[in-house]
Structure 1
């Protein structure tokens, strides 16, 4: 049984001291493996770069010879010893929902970042002992086998169970269907439990009704609330880590909405990806890329349900839900990547560049395009079955036929189940929306019409985006620097990304006056710096609305049948009742 021990000497350094005791060795060589990536983010992260002072010791404390054979794999000469200890420091200074962080007042660890395993002992039960101040609590999905000691069934169980330890954890519990759901907060915040718990209960109840059974015995929402703007969430076996900020705004509408959205999203992952897993990831191989093409299921469907179920459970109004949906549309249409790579192929490429912008117009997000695809599929199934069935039935069968028995699914399995539930062929949908590069509005517009809604295509708020097809870099506020140029737009023949605009028709650009100087203008002359060289170019509108924004809205002329379909879909009346103001 591997035993792990974690301590820290100087929190200000960020270094954790980690010891791993390995027993029952029967070979002259032993291979040690540190994960190269973590579930929930499908790219290599090379955690070994954060290790310092790596050593392997015999039971008597003498060093054993070892050699690194890959970036995160070591070969140890055991010299006949049946036990050994591995020691190293780990730099825990990554504050997001997938990282680890050491501070004077709390410790947060994702074990997948920093714990290694001995080859051949991955399925052995293991313990993790934490050397912590006596008064500190531990928030974690793992059970305690002793004071400050966590116990796991195997290595996968251990590294899929992050924890927070501190003396200032805030904790409440709610219960649904006899299952305990723990909500933990770490940070300088004041949670309004009278608001939080009923909302969490509502979306939890809706998810349990959808899937009918829950994969795990209990669940933990591990929230780290930060003193600065931040947003991130990561799913785990029976928990999630959520990092949000700024702390003083936790219960204000904008940030509280984010807390609800990410919490509902991550809970849905307990079924979808933690249990309903693509066959390429069953089991996880932490040593290399695990390529898969069904990110539109793993993340796209989850993104759809994350906000949709908040509306269906009554936590969001339909208008609040549409605000979130329109944000997804805005993020999806930030460039023209949909023209060049399908969402299935973009899923395969998460291991390449899926979590950074990459070159212009290369790919789509499995979250955003996948969410749109899930919405369309849900409404297509409802239309084909006169609301008798929906995407709920597909996901329930995915859970029953693949997740619960621990069988990996293929993209053919997902399409087959969708067609069986719909009772019709969905070949065109999958060929165009999932495996193709057809514009999303071709499918979304008629799908929304079924529930009395429209997809509005409107000009961008900033006139130069619509007229000429360029955006400024929003991260540069001291100058007007080109951040994006739409293909086949007037700007494409004049600008390059990173051009610094200096003047318009001879007038200096300053203090955000570009919009005002464009008023009443058509053809304009722009002066700019490109690679420190001064240039002058001309721009002329071509009559096309470039970089439009898309919005989902209720159709004021929706028929009674469409309004009834809307209620079947969202469990809300088409016309919302306006609550009277409180006296």
Structure 2
């Protein structure tokens, strides 16, 4: 196969967490073929240096070793050769997340960005990969799950898979092991659910039915007439662990990690908070199938995975996705209006809790994702705002504004559909162009017929708080503040460190800040009474706002004492409640939430 890049990947030593990869280039560049491993993975905006996991690497041609020179941290060049070149390398895989690779005796998982070297200049060619079974009787029951099309393999089996180009190869993660499997069709398209890990009494039938509703609602949002999904097949891959949460989107699949207790249990019909969170995560990553995997910022079309890609638009691509993930749960009938407004309140209160929102706009937060959002420290609540959380509120506010000012004739749904039609629908079939910040703002005005520059200036490029109480009122949603009788507090967030109470964050302007407490301090005592990992709130409940307390803390190995004046907890406690009257208002809300009978 002269014009095909060929890989094999073998879980060579699961106990040592080692994959072995071979890469064959039939027609290498005459000047010496260059190979590059990505430094980051799309959807996770931090340089991760995947090349650091390459344990050893060598090159050969026709069975004879040839020189392979390392040019920089993730780039190699083979000596000039007029015949095919084969690289062989071992990778250490012990990252139990959705971003890289993990291998042991229980399962194997990898993203292509962390295991497949790119053949520079030949990324456009077809790429095939043979996924091999690890040796030994222990692995005879293992199967393979991936969205890659089979070339010489049965579905879910070991064998050879094919990708149209390098981008599709690395955008198709692989799970291997003994997993639970179910399949459903959403508007005619097969969707697989793969659950790896021990999950007693997993109610796969309920999960299948619920995800089908979410997927069909999202397909219908973007293609209301044709109900045509943008992929031929989709795979939800979930690793269930004792405690975990995360997801990463791909063009025809998603990799997820969750607590096994978040998954539904046979015979239990109520919607637990954990299960709702898991469904929201699935909804979020599935929405990315349109919004960021096909509708992309211009800087991501195409990706440059060697270095950072800066954009001010993550508030749209992550924030709007965060808005729609829970909205799709209520539109699918999986949660009711009351549950949905509790989720909105949780997001609003979380954003208002940190003073960083007054210093950084969501456009700036998007641009600084590489250095700030993905590298958070103890001062982050006082310095940054989340483009996920506040971005979702921007999406909510725009939706409410558009619906109110056009009297229901237009909505954010119309904007998303237009973005899809112009930038996303044919992305992988054509040359694929991305959307710029100027494009976005102009498109909003065009689709809605409104002039929204002032909104963007204040809430996207500016740092003003979004007036959600006012925006929700026309939809019959009442806002209430529950801070009237709040208990005194220190203005800190703590974490458990064994049985110790460790200060994780000190909120700017709070009693602890004014007293001199710092993140990392271990709280030992309040007025001579011992503080443990679990009793801080109980101790503080015996005081009132304005009382002075003496705090003893360990900072490193030094015992220190501070006097703090307690104040009422400034943590926001907004609540939003839907009202049933007047009828016209309730109808407007039902049209927005998709709850009309």
TM-score, normalised to structure 1's length? Answer: 0.91
Q: 2:474 aligns with which of 450, 454, 464?
A: 450
1:98/1:514 CA distance change after superposition, 3 Å: closer
Distance 1:110 1:513 in 2: 43
Deviates more, 1:332-341 or 1:110-119: 332-341
| Match of residue 231 from structure 1 | 245
Aligned-residue Cα RMSD (Å) equals 2.3
Distance 1:554 1:356 in 2: 38
Q: Residue 264 of structure 1: CA displacement?
A: 1.2
Q: Residue 541 of structure 1: CA displacement?
A: 5.1
Q: How many residues align?
A: 563
1:489/1:102 CA distance change after superposition, 3 Å: closer
Distance 1:229 1:394 in 2: 37
Distance 2:174 2:19 in 1: 14
Distance 1:163 1:38 in 2: 15
Q: Deviations over 1:403-439 (max 9, x none)?
A: 1242210112222222223322111211111111112
| Match of residue 336 from structure 2 | 317
Q: 1:151 aligns with which of 138, 154, 162?
A: 162
Distance 1:281 1:416 in 2: 20
Q: Deviations over 1:54-93 (max 9, x none)?
A: 1111222x32122211110112212x33211111111111
Q: Deviations over 1:370-403 (max 9, x none)?
A: 1111111111110011112111000000000111
Distance 2:492 2:18 in 1: 42
Mind listing any 5+ residue stretches in structure 2 that lack a counterpart? 134-138, 154-158, 427-431
| Match of residue 562 from structure 2 | 537
Mind listing any 5+ residue stretches in structure 1 that lack a counterpart? 575-583
Distance 2:33 2:163 in 1: 22
Q: 1:305 aligns with which of 324, 338, 342?
A: 324
| Match of residue 417 from structure 1 | 443
| Match of residue 488 from structure 2 | 464
SS of alignment partner, residue 488 of structure 2: helix
Deviates more, 1:155-164 or 1:481-490: 481-490
SS of alignment partner, residue 27 of structure 2: coil
Alpha-carbon contact 1:5-1:130 (below 8 Å) kept:
yes
Distance 1:487 1:553 in 2: 30
Alpha-carbon contact 1:278-1:408 (below 8 Å) kept:
yes
Alpha-carbon contact 1:271-1:399 (below 8 Å) kept:
yes
Q: 2:464 aligns with which of 411, 415, 438?
A: 438
Distance 1:256 1:377 in 2: 29
Distance 1:44 1:554 in 2: 44
Distance 1:244 1:298 in 2: 23
Q: 1:547 aligns with which of 560, 563, 571?
A: 571
Q: Residue 530 of structure 1: CA displacement?
A: 5.5
Distance 1:507 1:112 in 2: 52
Q: Deviations over 1:180-199 (max 9, x none)?
A: 22222222224323312221
| Match of residue 246 from structure 1 | 260
| Match of residue 499 from structure 2 | 478
Q: Deviations over 1:87-113 (max 9, x none)?
A: 111111112222222122432121111
Q: Counterparts in 2 of 1:329-340, with a 5 A limit?
A: 329-340=348-359
Q: 1:216 aligns with which of 217, 231, 245?
A: 231
Alpha-carbon contact 1:527-1:534 (below 8 Å) kept:
no
Q: Deviations over 1:470-510 (max 9, x none)?
A: 12422336234333333233332213323333333344445
Q: Residue 516 of structure 1: CA displacement?
A: 3.6
Distance 1:156 1:27 in 2: 24
| Match of residue 289 from structure 1 | 308
Q: Counterparts in 2 of 1:42-81, with a 5 A limit?
A: 42-60=45-63, 62-78=64-80, 80-81=81-82
Distance 1:72 1:50 in 2: 10
Q: Deviations over 1:198-236 (max 9, x none)?
A: 21221122111110042222211122222x111111110
* 1:502 is aligned to 2:524: yes
| Match of residue 10 from structure 1 | 13
Distance 2:54 2:349 in 1: 40
Q: Residue 247 of structure 1: CA displacement?
A: 5.5
